[in-house]
Structure 1
Amino acid sequence: MERELADAALPYTSGAQQGVPASIKHVLAALRTALADGDQEALAELGPELAATAAAPQQLPDDAEGRRLADALHAYNTAVSAQTIVQPAAAQPAVDSGPVLDDEDHAAAEVELQPGDEEDEPESAPFPALKILKEAVGRSKMHPIPVISTEERESGPWPLISERMDGEPRWVHPDVTSTRVPYIREKDGKRVRRDQLDVPPDVFGEGVLCLIDRNGSYPSACSGVPLAPNKLLPTGPLDAFDKTRAGIYLIDVPEWPRRDMPHPLGRIIDRPDEQGRVWVTTPHIKLLARLVREGHLAAIPAIHDSWTGKYNESLFKPFYEAAKEA
């Protein structure tokens, strides 16, 4: 019950939403910190203040987040009121009244990720990437949401987002033959398979083969990735792309007339919905807009649906600068 209360309060304790009195925000933020740290002593000390907060009438926002928080406070107050036998503080059970697990059970149990669960790299780490990223998020004035809970990931915009590596380059020019062939690695002598490209000289003539550094490109991309670090809201069909917002957009797959370059949406186009539409991100929309300006596309596809938030492209700037220096 404490966990649900903390999760319901997350939009307000994270700063993503406003409209809750500072006194309530303070105690609920302390609750989430205590739960994340597994600090039973702090949870016990918060008990009376939580009970008083849940019992007091509150003026909360009349929206989905506000109603969820109100329901969680009401449920907590009902549970506390139903406890007719008050035990001494020293004898109170832990907040989590589920079965006690031994070390092996704890290791196997699936625990929802909470802010602060990740361990920073040791001080001796040559490049403390996670620490730099967390500090960048913590300094942001846009109040980034540090964790998307399991419940939230199963609703709203999150099921629409794929984690497939759609950006990985696998395109080969239609006049070039790509074949997987055996190869002996020089460094360890292991037998592996690699792509061998048969490039007809009469098609391209003399030229240069350009290899794409797939593994090392992400630090550079972090220097200007456009995203919405705060809450995504449903903004529906759009007449035009709003440059002040970022998120995901449902569009028709634009026709790509060129043979010498892959489709600008990559392998996303391989999985359209029943109406031939795909969900894309802000960088995709910006790329399509540039291709229109340069005359490679006739027009930007219509945006049939969208989930967006306030635009930002400097959230990971400290990480980019540190990675570039390293």
Structure 2
Amino acid sequence: MRPPLALGLGLTVLSALGGCEQGVEAQKACLADLTLPDPAEPTAGMVRLTGGVFAMGASAEHPEEGPPRQVRVGDFWIDQTEVTNAAFARFVDATGYVTQAERPLPEAAYPGLSTEERRPASLVFVGAGAAGGNPAAWWRIIPGADWRHPEGPGSSIAGKESWPVVHIGWEDAQAYAQWLGRDLPTEAEWEYAARGGLDSARYAWGDDPAPKTQPLANTWQGVFPVADSGEDGHKAQPAPVGCFPANGHGLYDITGNVWEWTSDWYRPGLVPASVLEQGGPSRAMSRDPDEPGQPKHVIKGGSFLCADNFCFRYRPAARAPGPHDSGASHVGFRTVLRIPAAPEAS
């Protein structure tokens, strides 16, 4: 069986919760002009950020988020939006790439599983209805769920070209980035970008929660996982990219909507700044207390399933572990292009 993401993250809610089909209005693009990727245009659709020193982490809302420390990042470009279905489709059309969710699990890596158990599948949230109060039963591995079929067989991304691509594993995200000559952001780069110049602020927009009259991110409003009121206009599902105000760096959906992969291996607390500045922790350093034998990568930003009563991870400092060999229906990504430092004058 494919390893599940850590409890508390939440995943895509099926139509039993009323969230999968909301008509044409919820599917319209929120940005008029979305740039499609082109290897010949290395910075198309990106924003250039000047690096610097910032306070990474937080006095922990969750124990894995701190303690905060001063970290330096260099200059880099970062995607203005999460990678969309249309952008990922262009990559697949150009390369013939097959995502991890579309491949059977390799027998050599999973010798104890049957052929049936290793067939292509991905993780989808099924809600709390029949599962009651058992969080382990709130999601399910659905054969046939992948980036083209986000809720499983019978679902599609038709009309959702501007939605963030999901069911993307770390390997898939890295392959897309490399196609464009880019990389996935380090955890420090991602958090620096997410803060938008508001060092140490609780949210990407400041210290105060978003007003109900002007939602600032696609999150879960209500008691998770029972009901999402949809006050932000997107009930229990991703939103097309760019439907909420950009942060101080001009980046859209940097928190909420879908979780985003980083290049760093996960540990339950921040590693020393010296390690971060040297490229982040190694695979050997990776450890998730819930599954200590399985190395994982850091995912950042929270998703449309983050509710204040359960997850509360739609903040720049928030972080969670993601299995490197699987994705889910609330996990996407964006890419970076680092700018080499100018040589020091002699």
The two structures have a TM-score, normalised by structure 2, of 0.21
Q: Which has the higher helix share?
A: 1
The two structures have a TM-score, normalised by structure 1, of 0.22
Quick check: which has more Rg, 1 or 2? 1
